[in-house]
Structure 1
Amino acid sequence: MGFPDLLSQYPDLAEGIRGRLTVNQPLSAVTWFRTGGPAQLMFQPADEEDLAAFLKKLPREIPVLPVGLGSNLLIRDGGLEGVVIRLSAKGFGAVEEIGGHRIRAGAAVPDKRLAEAAAKAGLGGFAFYTGIPGGLGGALRMNAGAHGTETRERMVELTAIDRDGTRHVLSNAEMGYAYRHSGASKDLIFTSAVFEGLPQDEASIRQEMADVVAHREKAQPIREKTGGSTFKNPPGTSAWKEVDAAGCRGLTVGGAQMSEMHCNFMINTGNATGHELELLGETVRARVLQHSGIQLEWEIKRLGTFGPEGAIEPFLGQAGEAA
């Protein structure tokens, strides 16, 4: 079941646009979980100017959502109403050294590619990106981090296009960064950013990168259909410890499972639906709350409308009573 065709309702949206517009685009193909409903309309702009021109014409009442590499994204089975913006590697995937130990990179650049570019340039401080399976747009939005380093420590400034098609440049301070969070307006679509590193010899950088990869392969189910860390670490403890203590390692709901290898990773074991994955997550949250009194917060972004199975209440709507 799809959404009404926005291009038929607003035919002028496609006029003069150089990027790609697709009606009712299945989103299961662009998320790491490989599940979820369609986007009412997906737009892949040719470049920043094309994005701005499209947004200027798009009626204000139509929702807009940027989607990157889909590594920490759970799309519900009913899909996403409105327009999904997906930046292309061709238009937003450039990486260049700009002097002063700085690199400019497009928001569609995979995190690990930025780490590679920094290593070649002899710039330290980026090895942690080797272990983050996402793109820079998402890293900038949620202050992605690993191994003791966060995006806010490397980002100098970024460019973004707002809902009205206006271009903005935001400093690090204007982003309002906190743990796995930024205070930037949800209306902003990040297009590129400038990062700053520290001089370091390439050999030692590559050793750090190799260590990150080795740790990830040993500790995380990287060959599964997963969204990475499911829950944020609560103050004073680790999410996986609380999930494990509540007896949820290996817990399954349909085709969804909390990984046996790393129980803060939720995986699609085959043909899990978005409903099964989210129900598993809320079941885990309910059991952890019941066991330890800790309210785990989702790190994975859950978006879209629920399918025919209906809505899933936070903590199962049972004040911590597990199902």
Structure 2
Amino acid sequence: MTATLTSTEPADQAPAADSGSLIPLATGELACSDCGQAVRDDGERVTVTVYLAAQSPNGPSKEQVLSFGRCPACAERRALVAEVVAAHPALGGRLGPAGALDRLGAALAVHAAIGEPLPSAETLTGSVELVSALIRHLAPAGNGLRWSLRYDGERAGTGPWDHLPDSQLAAARKAYVAMLSERRQAVDGAVWVAPPDAPDADLSGACLLCGRDLVLAQSGGADAWSPTVISTPSVIAAPTSPESLKGWVCAPCMSACQHVGSVGQAAMMRALEEELRTSGDEDGSARLQRLGDSAWLVSWAAVVLRERRAGRPVPGPNREPWGHISMEV
């Protein structure tokens, strides 16, 4: 079993951990690529290729190959992920086979890191809605939990997930609570609704503005998605075109458009502000407020159209609403 990850991040930017939670590896040991605990080197390795940043603007970058193992618990969880993705072909079709494995793996890593039991294989293979909720809520928090992302092949954690700082564990728990809250809503009668198929749409599969691909809605989801024609695509930062843009806008974004009275920057700003507020992202809200009227938001549709025009692979739906927007200011 060999996996390869290419990264341009310098090694000293790995997530911080208390040095007391790390120990040197003994002869014949490797760190588990996921949870970081020391395991016996049985020949089944996960390799990570790291390209270290040059020390000077004109200096060469350095390539380093690190080897990791995998503990029985993490191997079992990975096998569960593969079984679930195989049971839901539409998931692989939407995210790509590798993307589905990676995102669900990150989501279930959250369960392991915070000590919550994993859902059973029967539960996960029987509900694509649950799997989608896990990915949407937990994958962003789970992406940075894995030991291999520390790019450290010489040490291990003192125990499973001991390398994680309190801030990462707190973010993971917050995401888990949000997921549980959403699932309770679903039990109360709400359903996840994807945008309808529309052969005449220029873009389909996600909201033209925020890029989400599922909306939690009551009463069968009749109002979850609105067919939308944008006569001047440049107002959502899409490439200038004499042609209008046809697609779908989700209910939260459409609510913002209706409040403002049109589709454009003011509506996108309101929709993003509301998303940050409801998700509890106080830091993101503060950054957006600092931008003020100088903010020029780029829609998901704009990103897709630019990549398509450049002949590059187009991105899929966002893992979470507005996930294509960087809030670093």
Whether TM exceeds 0.5 here: the answer is: no
Give the TM-score normalised by structure 2: 0.28
Q: From the CA coordinates, give the structure whose radius of gyration is larger.
A: 2
Give the TM-score normalised by structure 1: 0.28
